Amino acid sequence: MKQRLGFVSNSSSSCYILDLCDTKTQTIVKKLKRSCIESYGVGRETGFAIGKDAIKYAKDWIEEAGDYNDRPEDSLGEWILDTAKQLGEENTVFIRISDEDNGIPCKLPEDLIYAEREYH
């Protein structure tokens, strides 16, 4: 099941959740790790986090950036946590791609995207 939430036509960042159980996703994760892209903090830069690190990122987002949301259900952190409940936390791969930098070193095949969300 694919979810698409919060579309903004001039979004500056796109977020994706992939299922680590898929072998194609595992290949993409290897490419991301080789490129040294990692999520640090709650910024809008391109990055990714897997499993417990994705959950930590979500909780940090709720704590640090929660005030940016008009409604709690719009929180990026809550979206990650809710989706991780569906996939299982250990299978959750969170990827954030910012329009403000060079993105990621590989294309995300449409069929691998479990959920996606954009924010400005």
CB 91 within 8 A of CB 20: yes
CB 114 within 8 A of CB 9: no
* Stretches in the chain below the pLDDT threshold 70: 1-12, 36-44, 65-74, 100-102, 119-120
CA dihedral (61, 65, 67, 70) in degrees, to 10, reads: -70
At 75-104, the pLDDT tens digits run 888 999 999 999 999 999 999 887 766 677
- To the nearest whole percent, how much of the chain has pLDDT over 70? 70
Q: For residues 104 and 6, give the distance between their C-alpha atoms in angstroms, rounded to a whole number.
A: 21
The pTM (predicted TM-score) of the whole model is 0.80
pLDDT value at residue 13: 79
